[in-house]
Structure 1
Amino acid sequence: MYLPQDPTKTHDAAARISAVILLALLSLATVEGKRSCPTNYLQVPAISCRKHTALITDFGGVGDGVTSNTQAFRRAIEHLSSLAADGGAQLTVPPGKWLTGSFNLTSHFTLFVHKDAKILGSQVENESEWPQVALLPSYGVGRDAPGGRYSSLIFGTNLTDVVITGNNGTIDGQGAYWWDKFHKGELNLTRPYLIEIMYSDQIQISDLTLVNSPSWFVHPIYSKNVIIQGLTILAPIDSPNTDGIDPDSCSNTRIEDCFIVSGDDCIAVKSGWDQYGIKFGMPTEDLVIKRLTCISPDSAGVALGSEMSGGIRNVRIENFTGINTQSAVRIKTARGRGGFVKDIFVRGMYLSTMKYVFWMTGNYKSHPDDKFDPAALPEITNINYRDVVAENVTYSARLEGISGDPFTNICISNVKIGLTATPKKLQWNCTDVEGFSSDVVPPPCAPLAKAGKSGGCDFPEDQLPIERVQLKTCFVQNPTVV
């Protein structure tokens, strides 16, 4: 028999049940909150989180700045590589000074450098610390010497899913040793880079301070899906070839929020050298550079080339700040390079104390050897600059194409250039170039005087695939907390 219930009691029972459920949910949320924000863990944004973790000290590492840790790093990574299929592994470098020679990374792996840790590059030039590696096929020869080259301090090839990061930990290449040998002509092999990743996919290099590389700092090459962000890169402004970041024959690359002081180009976009790069034929394409600050009195903020023989296309540069830098975004090429630089879009440059705002060079004569083909002419076209403010400038522009092979479809719009107290009389020096301009002060040269598009030069509004990649929040145990 159905007996009607007191609606008041029914309501009270429901309220009690709801309260119990609410308290349970609140308790669970508290537990989850504690789980997601533990006090002895650091939050790390990364493309992948790792199931397993270890310290370099677990493999005999000694952080006294004197003991070599080369074998400790190699042992650690060899051991952790076996965990790649089981959620991957992370190697943490705790506070201390960790002297080491070159070591190779592995797939599904994170190298985490604590903010109070400093990895120091070895200054012992021998095979055990700096193994020799093969010449790059798109370069054909070594850059410092015709023979081979030393492995980079941190090196990897044929990898997938690699993260090199930290909460502003430091990697110091101790480059003065190498710079001295370079100046004295004592090198038989090309100097090591600080970080080089080859033939790889899904790479992240972030949140580190990199100082005093023997040569280039960060060199992703023949790779795709690369994120580089939050780097502070520092080298003396007279140090040789200390490029900050060199994306080289890479696709789908994102570089953002970096501060670079360099003896060479802050960012140098490359794709191989003359006949070797033409034969290899791998362009750098789909590259975005955002929020870069550069100081380099003798070089460019962003250079496109000079080694661009595999081609460079679809590069987007936005919110660039140049201070006491020779030039902003510079194109460097020559007869014999072949290849192309096209579909380049630059928006939002803020420049102070510059020799040149715009600089393109079609006579950059550095060649790997005498076997290049002078009939291999580069194609330079669809180069767009807009929304530029500059002050204390010596030359507005030096634009030098190639006779019989002009640089075409150059667009410059919404530019205000303030000159130094003693500017050069000829502000726009233009040869073998063609293009458009609008709202540019001082007025551009005749080859660019034709009115540009309504609304200014092009800048794509779509996002590249790499820009849509969202980093996960991972947790790293703080080695300073017991």
Structure 2
Amino acid sequence: MYRKIVFLLLLACSIKYSLGQDGWRLPKVTEPIFKNVQYPITKYGAIPDGHTLNTQAIQKAIDECHAKGGGIVRVPQGLWLTGPIVLKSNVNLHLETGATLLFTKDKDQYPLVKGNWEGMPQMRNQSPISAENASNIGITGNGIIDGNGDAWRLVKKEKLTASQWKKLVASGGVVKNGNLWMPSESFARGYEMKDPGRLSPEKDVAFYQSIKDFLRPNLVVFTKCDKILLEGVTFQNSAAWCLHPLMSTNIVVRNIFVKNPWYAQNGDGIDLESCSNVLIENSVFDVGDDALCMKSGRDADGRARAMPTQNVIIKGCTVYASHGGFVVGSEMSGGVKNVYVSNCTFIGSDIGLRFKTTRGRGGVVENIFIKDIYMKDIPGEAILFDMYYMARDPIPLEGEKRELPKVEMLPVDETTPQFQNIHISNVYCNGAKKAIFIRGIPEMHVKNILIENSVLQSEQGVDIQEASGIKLKNVSVYATKADVVVDIVNSDDVQISGLKYADGASVLLRAAGDRTKNIRIEKTDYTRVKEKVITELGTPSAAVQLH
């Protein structure tokens, strides 16, 4: 035990911090520096006609730049068709204004390689841009990187208009169940299997080749790299996740635009997985899945890796279409901690602040600090913590039916996930389905969450289930369709101070469940509701105290 304590103290001392303008003690991130030596891809035979495949020419430029000590591989204006390329140490791939790096639809150009997908070791098609064990690498400039993802992705009929669906089906591919379009039979074979890409001894090359189209590549994957810079560039139309730094350190993402169709399956913006010391600032995301997402591996694989995503700064970012603006999980089995999010705007994101996990993950999410968040037109929850994640879109499609999860108390072990010690302040939301939703599991409550100084305009109010140590301080919940402003089920140590709410609510607070206790409300106007408190389903009236 003594050695472990000493190790943790030494580790804490080795992390460099600086005092930010907001008073947070922020981690310092080391940026790469590149030699000002130019390697234009035209020198190596690249042709910008959108037809000629330039893979070899671009890779030659990268290889020579690396071999000579590094510099700038310059991509001039033009339409540059290419297959997958590999970045190497000390190389900055710089796209000038008017330059589009377009990755080919020809899937034969993408060899199958061992990689990682959704937190597990898997066989994948090689990513359009990748690097492994590299340091001092960058993608900068003002150009566009296009992954040609439409050639790879499944599309749900419900997400298209009738004419769009008709056009897509006429283009070829395979239609399953009348409402799922898939690009090929190879994709359809993989879709019918459980984790077909997962690496295992009984699967040979022929097997993976038979489902090759299903093993979609992420657009940019940097694995075990240090000192990464992504700046100024537009990353768009990925087959799966757009940006995927994996087990990497000292990452700077600045002034980029990440764009995927809103219906893009798994079309995440950026997924930091088991990464440390990261700065993401002044960037825009308009994508088909989660936008700014923190991950650290899935289930037993993530716990065995034991590498949390930590020491992350996110500021000045804007998110449009997405399943979540800022997101933790659901693959967070190695933990997520020390994350600082400020001055971000979410417009039209399904959920604003989204924390998701499920039994089996394990992992601890803690020490997350969020402030100055501005939201508009949120179809789901402004703020959500959910430990019953079901791997579905957060907003049900038309006609889709969903059942509530079965509530049962299970033993606590290494597979039990945890959300704790999270501070959220200055959140302003104009339009959401629900203001706040907190749902833990009976054996492991969501714990120690402080939400303060916020104004949330929504249809429904606050829903707290299986939670402990929840504090709402100076929170205004203007819920237009809520009979109950705050609903609490089987939760304890909930403190509400300075709550403001809309006229028309029947009940200020409803408490239910025989495990609900120690609920306190103070500095709140009780005159504008018909009933202050209702207790039911085993909650004693003494469990709720009004002051």
Q: TM-score, normalised by structure 1?
A: 0.77
Distance 1:361 1:62 in 2: 50
Q: Does 1:403 align with 2:388?
A: no
SS in 1 for 2:116: coil
Alignment counterpart, residue 359 of structure 2, candidates 335, 341, 354: 335
- Please state how far the C-alpha of 1:141 moved relative to its aligned partner: 4.6
CA offset digits 1:17-43 (Å, max 9, x no partner): xxxxxxxxxxxxxxxxxxxxxxxxxxx
CA offset digits 1:305-333 (Å, max 9, x no partner): 00000110001110110111111111111
Distance 2:296 2:279 in 1: 16
Counterpart for residue 112 of structure 1: 94
Q: Does 1:136 align with 2:116?
A: yes
Alignment counterpart, residue 107 of structure 2, candidates 116, 125, 128: 125
Q: Higher relative contact order at CA 8 Å, sep ≥6: structure 1 or structure 2?
A: 1
Distance 2:71 2:228 in 1: 15
Give runs of aligned pairs for residues 357-368 of structure 1, distance below 5 A: 357-366=382-391
Counterpart for residue 32 of structure 2: 47
Amino acid at match of 1:135: G
Distance 2:181 2:288 in 1: 14
Q: Does 1:174 align with 2:148?
A: yes
Distance 1:417 1:70 in 2: 50
SS in 1 for 2:384: strand
Counterpart for residue 334 of structure 2: 310
SS in 2 for 1:269: strand
- Please state how far the C-alpha of 1:230 moved relative to its aligned partner: 0.5
Distance 1:210 1:106 in 2: 19
CA offset digits 1:279-302 (Å, max 9, x no partner): 1111100001101111125x1001
CA offset digits 1:171-206 (Å, max 9, x no partner): 111111111479424452421111111101111011
Please tell me whether the aligned partners of residues 285 and 315 of structure 1 are also in contact (alpha carbons under 8 angstroms).
yes
Counterpart for residue 437 of structure 1: 472
Could you say if the C-alpha distance between residues 138 and 237 of structure 1 is closer, same or farther in structure 2, counting changes exceeding 3 Å?
closer
Q: Does 1:450 align with 2:435?
A: no
Give runs of aligned pairs for residues 317-396 of structure 1, distance below 5 A: 317-354=341-378, 355-366=380-391, 376-396=415-435
Please tell me whether the aligned partners of residues 370 and 423 of structure 2 are also in contact (alpha carbons under 8 angstroms).
yes
Alignment counterpart, residue 222 of structure 1, candidates 239, 247, 272: 247
Amino acid at match of 1:410: I
- The total of aligned residue pairs comes to 386
Counterpart for residue 312 of structure 2: 287
Could you say if the C-alpha distance between residues 444 and 292 of structure 1 is closer, same or farther in structure 2, counting changes exceeding 3 Å?
farther
Could you say if the C-alpha distance between residues 225 and 179 of structure 1 is closer, same or farther in structure 2, counting changes exceeding 3 Å?
same
Amino acid at match of 2:250: N
SS in 2 for 1:428: strand
Gaps of 5+ in 1: 1-45, 143-147, 368-372, 454-482
Amino acid at match of 1:401: G
Please tell me whether the aligned partners of residues 360 and 399 of structure 1 are also in contact (alpha carbons under 8 angstroms).
yes
Please tell me whether the aligned partners of residues 339 and 377 of structure 1 are also in contact (alpha carbons under 8 angstroms).
yes
Distance 1:452 1:47 in 2: 46
Amino acid at match of 2:431: N
Please tell me whether the aligned partners of residues 138 and 279 of structure 1 are also in contact (alpha carbons under 8 angstroms).
no
Counterpart for residue 35 of structure 1: none
SS in 2 for 1:79: helix
Counterpart for residue 414 of structure 1: 453
Distance 1:402 1:194 in 2: 35
Counterpart for residue 72 of structure 1: 57
Please tell me whether the aligned partners of residues 355 and 385 of structure 2 are also in contact (alpha carbons under 8 angstroms).
yes
Please tell me whether the aligned partners of residues 138 and 277 of structure 1 are also in contact (alpha carbons under 8 angstroms).
no
CA offset digits 1:256-278 (Å, max 9, x no partner): 11111111011111000111001
- Please state how far the C-alpha of 1:131 moved relative to its aligned partner: 2.1
Distance 1:449 1:381 in 2: 14
